[in-house]
C-alpha cells in the first residue's frame, strides 16, 4: 500500500511542473521516483503502480473538468465528480499499461532508457489520437521554460516528452547501480541539456516586413449568463465599447463566440462592424457561430469582417461539449444536459488561411491548439497564428493556465508569433520563442494591445512533424530487440 501511495504522490508532484506552477525540474524527480518503483516492485503491483501514478497526475492535473460539467452540464456533484473520476481512471490506465510493458521489457533484457522512452512516446501518441484524442499534460509542455525546450522547434512537444523520459532513465540507471555515474552518462546528460540551451538562441524562421499593431478584446461575459437572449445586445455593446479607441490598430480580434448568436441573427450588427473596419482600414476578426445556407449545418467559426469576408470553421470539436458522439443513441442525454451550442459540425479538414494584402494568418479555435498536427497544416504558409478561445468553462482553475502553456508550445514549435484572444483570460501575445510578451488580467473586461512580427520559413517540426521521431523510436526498439536476442544467443552458446 505504501508503494501505491508513493506512486500517487509522485504523480501529483509532476503536475507542479506545468503552468501555473512552472517548476519544470520537479518532473524529473517525479519520473525518477516512479521508474524506480516500477523496476523494484512485484509483478502483481505493476499495473496498480502505474494507475495510481496516473490518478495523482491526471486527478490533480485535469480535475478542473469537473467545474464545467457541474456548472454548465448537470448541476449534481455526484454526476460531475463521477464523470471526471471515470475520465481520470481511463487516462490513468494508459500509465498503468506503460508500467506493465516497461517491467516486461526490462525483465527480458531491454535497455531501460530505450524501453521507457519509446513506451512513453507511444502512450502519449495514442492518448492524443484515440477516441478523438486528449493530449493534455504531455510531459514536453512542462519543459517550455527549461533547457529541453530548445528542442521543441525540432522534435515538437512529444519529442520533448521523449527526452524528459530518456534523461530520467539515465538517472535511474545510475541510481540502480549504486555507485557514482560513469563519465559516459554524465557527458550524455550534460550534452542533452547544453545543446538544448544553445538551440534556444537559434532562430529558424525569419522576420517579414514591419510589425503589426494588434488589439485583443476580452469581454469577460460570465459563462453562466452568456447565452441568455437578454445578454446578447449588452455583450455586443461591451465589446464595441472596449474596441472603440482601437480602430487605428492593424487588427482587432474578438474571442471565440464573442457574439452569442448565429451570424444570420445579427446581420445588422455585423454590417455596422464591417463598415467601421472598412472605414478605418482595420482587419477585424471575431468568433461567432454560423449556420450554412447550403446544408443547414452549424459551425463554430471565425469570421473576418470588412473588405472581403473570410470564414474559418472549427475542425476538431470537443466531444460532449460541441457535439455528441453516437447521436442516435445519446440524443436524450444531449437534451437533458442542455449545453448551449452543443450540436456543431466539423469544418472541412482543408481550409485556406485567412489572407490579407500583406500577411496570412493561421487560425484555430480553443481546443484545436492542443493538436500540433492540425496547427502545422498551414503554419509554413502563415505569417503568424491566432487562437480564439473561451476558457470561461473552467472558471478559476488550472485549466486556462495549462491551455496558455500549450499555446506557447505551438508558437515555439512553428517559430511564429501567436495571439490568443479569450472571453475571460488568459488573453496573451506570444512571440516565436514561446515567451509571453503581453498578458491581460484574467476575469476583467479589458483589451490587450501589442505588436506582432510576421514570420516566414519553417521549423523542422513544421516540415516533418512527429514522423522522424516515431521512426527513430521504432529503430531504437528494433535494434535493442536484435541486440538482446544476439546477446542471449551468445550467452547460451558460451554456457551450454
CA distances (Å), 19 to each of 28, 62, 145, 399, 444, in order? Answer: 16, 12, 10, 9, 20
Task: Tell me the torsion sign for CA atoms 80, 83, 86, 92.
Answer: negative
> What whole-number distance in Å separates Cα of residue 344 and Cα of residue 23?
38
Q: What is the residue whose three cell numbers read 496558455?
A: 404
Catalytic option among 169, 366, 413, 455:
366
Q: Which residues of 351-390 are buried (b: 16+ CB within 10 A; e: fewer)?
A: bebbebeebebbbbbbbbbbbbebbbbbbbebbbbbbbbb
Peptide bond into 20 cis (omega under 30): yes
- Which grid cell is 197? 540551451
If one counts every other C-beta atom within 10 angstroms of the C-beta of residue 473, the result is 22
Per the annotation, the verdict on 194 as an active-site residue is no
Per the annotation, the verdict on 187 as an active-site residue is no
Phi, psi of 98 (to 5 degrees): -55, -45
Catalytic option among 226, 298, 314, 455:
314
> What whole-number distance in Å separates Cα of residue 47 and Cα of residue 428?
41
Per the annotation, the verdict on 471 as an active-site residue is no
- Which grid cell is 59? 486527478
Radius of gyration from C-alpha coordinates of the chain: 24
Catalytic option among 256, 269, 368, 413:
256
Phi, psi of 260 (to 5 degrees): -80, 60
Peptide bond into 465 cis (omega under 30): no
Q: How many CA atoms lie within 13 A of 495 on its CB side?
A: 4
Among residues 80, 12, 52, which one has the least CA distance to residue 393? 80
> What whole-number distance in Å separates Cα of residue 6 and Cα of residue 261?
50
Among residues 136, 115, 118, 139, which one has the least CA distance to residue 31? 139
- Which grid cell is 474? 521504432
- Exposure of 493 by Cβ count < 10 A (0-12 exposed, 13-18 middle, 19+ buried)? exposed
- Which grid cell is 421? 484572444
Residues serving a catalytic function are 256, 314, 366
Amino acid at each position: 500500500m505504501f508503494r501505491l501511495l508513493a506512486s500517487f504522490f509522485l504523480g501529483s508532484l509532476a503536475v507542479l511542473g506545468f503552468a501555473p506552477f512552472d517548476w519544470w525540474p520537479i518532473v524529473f524527480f517525479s519520473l525518477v521516483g516512479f521508474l524506480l518503483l516500477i523496476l523494484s516492485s512485484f509483478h502483481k503491483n505493476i499495473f496498480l503502480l502505474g494507475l495510481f501514478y496516473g490518478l495523482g497526475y491526471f486527478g490533480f492535473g485535469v480535475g478542473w473538468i469537473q467545474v464545467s460539467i457541474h456548472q454548465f452540464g448537470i448541476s449534481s456533484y455526484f454526476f460531475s465528480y463521477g464523470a471526471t473520476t471515470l475520465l481520470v481512471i481511463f487516462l490513468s490506465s494508459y500509465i498503468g499499461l506503460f508500467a506493465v510493458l516497461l517491467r516486461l521489457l526490462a525483465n527480458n533484457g531491454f535497455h531501460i532508457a530505450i524501453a521507457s522512452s519509446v513506451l512513453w512516446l507511444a502512450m502519449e501518441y495514442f492518448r492524443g489520437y484515440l477516441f478523438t484524442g486528449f493530449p493534455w499534460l504531455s510531459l514536453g509542455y512542462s519543459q517550455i521554460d527549461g533547457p529541453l525546450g530548445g528542442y521543441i522547434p525540432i522534435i515538437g512537444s512529444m519529442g520533448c516528452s521523449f527526452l524528459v523520459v530518456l534523461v530520467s532513465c539515465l538517472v535511474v540507471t545510475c541510481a540502480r547501480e549504486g555507485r557514482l555515474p560513469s563519465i559516459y552518462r554524465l557527458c550524455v546528460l550534460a550534452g542533452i541539456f547544453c545543446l538544448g540551451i544553445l538551440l534556444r538562441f537559434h532562430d529558424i524562421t525569419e522576420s517579414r516586413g514591419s510589425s503589426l499593431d494588434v488589439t485583443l478584446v476580452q469581454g469577460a461575459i460570465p459563462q453562466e449568463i452568456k447565452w441568455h437572449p437578454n445578454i446578447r445586445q449588452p455583450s455586443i455593446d461591451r465589446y464595441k465599447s472596449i474596441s472603440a479607441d482601437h480602430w487605428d490598430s492593424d487588427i482587432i480580434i474578438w474571442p471565440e463566440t464573442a457574439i452569442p448568436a448565429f451570424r444570420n441573427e445579427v446581420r445588422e450588427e455585423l454590417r455596422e462592424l464591417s463598415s467601421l473596419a472598412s472605414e478605418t482600414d482595420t482587419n477585424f476578426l471575431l468568433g461567432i457561430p454560423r449556420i450554412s445556407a447550403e446544408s443547414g449545418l452549424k459551425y463554430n467559426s471565425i469570421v473576418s469582417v470588412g473588405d472581403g469576408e473570410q470564414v474559418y470553421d472549427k475542425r476538431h470539436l470537443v466531444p460532449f461539449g460541441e457535439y455528441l458522439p453516437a447521436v442516435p443513441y445519446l440524443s436524450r442525454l444531449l437534451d437533458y444536459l442542455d449545453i448551449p451550442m452543443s450540436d456543431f459540425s466539423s469544418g472541412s479538414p482543408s481550409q485556406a488561411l485567412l489572407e490579407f494584402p500583406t500577411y496570412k494568418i493561421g487560425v484555430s479555435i480553443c481546443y484545436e491548439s492542443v493538436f500540433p498536427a492540425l496547427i502545422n497544416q498551414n503554419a509554413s504558409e502563415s505569417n503568424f497564428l491566432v487562437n480564439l478561445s473561451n476558457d470561461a468553462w473552467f472558471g478559476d482553475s488550472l485549466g486556462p493556465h495549462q491551455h496558455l502553456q500549450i499555446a506557447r508550445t505551438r508558437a515555439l514549435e512553428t517559430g511564429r508569433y501567436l495571439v490568443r484572444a479569450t472571453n475571460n483570460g488568459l488573453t496573451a501575445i506570444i512571440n516565436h520563442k514561446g515567451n509571453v510578451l503581453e498578458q491581460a488580467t484574467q476575469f476583467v473586461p479589458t483589451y490587450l494591445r501589442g505588436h506582432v512580427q510576421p514570420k516566414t520559413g519553417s521549423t523542422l517540426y513544421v516540415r516533418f512533424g512527429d514522423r522522424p521521431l516515431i521512426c527513430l523510436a521504432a529503430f531504437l526498439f528494433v535494434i535493442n530487440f536484435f541486440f538482446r536476442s544476439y546477446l542471449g544467443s551468445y550467452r547460451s552458446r558460451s554456457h551450454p
